[in-house]
Structure 1
Amino acid sequence: ASMDSGGNMQSNEERNAEKQMDNYLKTIGFHRKKIAKDGSCLFRAVAEQVLHCQSLHTEVRAKCVEFLKQNRDSYEAFIEGNFEEYLSKLQDPQQWVGEVEINALAVMYKRDFLIFQEPGKPAVNITDNNFKDKVRLCFLNGNHYDSVYPITHMKSAALCQSILYELLYEGVFRVDRGSLGPCQRTSRASDLLSDDCMAVCGSSDESDQETHEPLWWEKTPRCRVENGTGSVSSRPGSYRGRGRGRSLPERVRRSLNPTLLRNVDYDIWHKTKRAQQKMDYSIAAGMQFSVGDRCQVRLDNGRTYKATIKDVPPDNSLVAVQVEDLGKKEMVPLWSIRPLNDENSWTTVTNRDKRLSNGHGEWEGRGRGRGRVSQATAVGSSGRMLKQHSWPPQATVE
């Protein structure tokens, strides 16, 4: 197994299935646009294709629940178990869905659902209501829906996106056109249509505090700054500025590129997922560490030191550690602390039956499955683990 471009654990079989599907779709003039890998992937895709706004997926889900409730006689026979309990669970944004919901959405929005399931085979009209408009999806690896668009749509969307960002950065942020020009070029045969198959955009700092990320960076490789002691030190520099000589962050450069569609919703989901994983880790680490424990700590200067835990607050806030080499106490967040591990000092952290890969922030269980540990699971509550309906809907994903 390995990581995909979004930092998710992915087996070789899954990766090959996606590659084969993408190659097939390209030959017939279509492109698979990645959707967030959570319980709302179907509703996200429908919200984007029907309402032209993926963030309305919660509204689509709520309307689907209400539609099923009002048309109970038509759908109850296809539901396993108690109908009211099923609808109650369906309101959960992380609850996976299947063919029942697809049929309901088709009638709600008067669109048939064409679903690509196997490379080399045409899409299956799963609803077949003879509606003129369609929703095109790709169902891969038995547990996830992505959107499918004509390649012409992807190219047009990329151009429109670049125009919007150009207006934003030049007209609102007052960035000099000289800084925008390098991002805008003519298309090439080898160009990617979307950035969701590229590596995710890096953060401005390791803690992913992207609310502080500058709009653009100073191009000069190093700058001289006061270090607070009256002396001057040299370090890589960056600060807000306008005009020539600045480099825009990677996210902005992708958005300004008229030949590449930046998958904004997928990017935002990935950032949110990492924030949740950081919270999950803090809870798990807080359970693991106690006063007097030896550990490693990474400080703001990027260096790692051996330290001793002096205080672990009950609210998982800053932890007090005594840094031996510096001879002083530091207050640090839980995600800056790791157990002492001679084999792999900063790459993995062990916590009972789970481990966290710090390179990508993905929880991995010892058993099968790809789902990350939820906050409730990390603290040992009785929260249920949600399973998505496979194809057909009676099957489940283990």
Structure 2
Amino acid sequence: LHVEPCHHVPKINGEIPSLDEASMDHERLSDRLRLYELTENKVKGDGNCQFRALSDQLYQTPDHHEFVREQIISQLKSNREAYDGYVPMAYDEYLEKVSRNGEWGDHVTLQAAADKYGVKIFVMTSFKDTCYIEIQPKVQKSNKVVLLSFWAEVHYNSIFPQNGRKRMQPTFHTDTAISA
């Protein structure tokens, strides 16, 4: 199967969907995961899910989510000019907000994670018009690909191939590399 990635634009979270929209989105995401033979490692939905899912991918456990958040905040603080234009509020206010335990991660924190760890992040989404998003780091330090699922504006999980080799990277065929 061939899937075209869309250009990643860091952005903050949007409106929380209605119950009907959320149900349809979840079904769409489940169908896509089945199609690509991916399985979710479900992480706790306590507002830290993006950081838990990243921790699961990077450290093989969701338990290091606080450390992952600290690393991402450090990246955001030390590279303000790279991310400032993507947040619709005062940057210091944004930093204070996303620094808090339980505060949701967004596409800006995902870009910062890709940049901090030097890894590509692949996000299988529930969006109607976008099957997945590929986030390129500014400088790639590893061939590892971080795999996440995103039930739009609701929840992130860590994902893996269903073939039983949990830490193996799946192969996705794309024609172009997308740069953020």
Identity %: 24
**2:155 corresponds to 1:147:** no
* Deviations, residues 201-249 of structure 1 (Å, cap 9, x unaligned): xxxxxxxxxxxxxxxxxxxxxxxxxxxxxxxxxxxxxxxxxxxxxxxxx
Give the 3-state SS of the residue equivalent to 2:159 in structure 1. strand
In structure 2, C-alpha distance between the alignment counterparts of 1:83 and 1:30, rounded to whole Å: 36
Counterpart among 54, 57, 70 of residue 49 in structure 1: 57
Counting matched residue pairs gives 146
More strand by share: 1
In structure 2, C-alpha distance between the alignment counterparts of 1:75 and 1:17, rounded to whole Å: 28
Any conservation in 1 of the 2:126–2:152 contact (CA below 8 Å)? no
Corresponding residue number in structure 1 for 2:148: 137
**2:116 corresponds to 1:105:** no
Corresponding residue number in structure 2 for 1:174: none
Where does 1:1-398 land on structure 2 (aligned, <5 Å)? 11=19, 13-118=21-126, 122-127=131-136, 131=140, 132-152=143-163, 155-156=164-165
Corresponding residue number in structure 1 for 2:12: none
* Deviations, residues 125-163 of structure 1 (Å, cap 9, x unaligned): 1336584221111111423212221112xx355xxxxxx
Structure 1 unaligned spans of 5+:
1-9, 158-398
**Alpha-carbon shift at residue 104 of structure 1 (Å):** 0.6
Could you tell me the TM-score, scaled by structure 2's length? Answer: 0.69
* Deviations, residues 262-303 of structure 1 (Å, cap 9, x unaligned): xxxxxxxxxxxxxxxxxxxxxxxxxxxxxxxxxxxxxxxxxx
**Alpha-carbon shift at residue 33 of structure 1 (Å):** 2.6
In structure 2, C-alpha distance between the alignment counterparts of 1:73 and 1:128, rounded to whole Å: 15
The 3 A distance-change label for structure 1 pair 33 and 12 is farther
In structure 2, C-alpha distance between the alignment counterparts of 1:156 and 1:74, rounded to whole Å: 36
Structure 2 unaligned spans of 5+:
1-17, 167-180
In structure 1, C-alpha distance between the alignment counterparts of 2:96 and 2:131, rounded to whole Å: 35
In structure 2, C-alpha distance between the alignment counterparts of 1:79 and 1:12, rounded to whole Å: 29
Give the 3-state SS of the residue equivalent to 2:160 in structure 1. strand
**Alpha-carbon shift at residue 26 of structure 1 (Å):** 1.9
In structure 2, C-alpha distance between the alignment counterparts of 1:73 and 1:130, rounded to whole Å: 16
Give the 3-state SS of the residue equivalent to 1:95 in structure 2. coil
Any conservation in 2 of the 1:112–1:134 contact (CA below 8 Å)? yes
Answer with 1 or 2: which has the greater Rg.
Answer: 1
RMSD (CA atoms): 2.5
Give the 3-state SS of the residue equivalent to 1:115 in structure 2. strand
Any conservation in 1 of the 2:51–2:105 contact (CA below 8 Å)? no
Give the 3-state SS of the residue equivalent to 1:50 in structure 2. helix
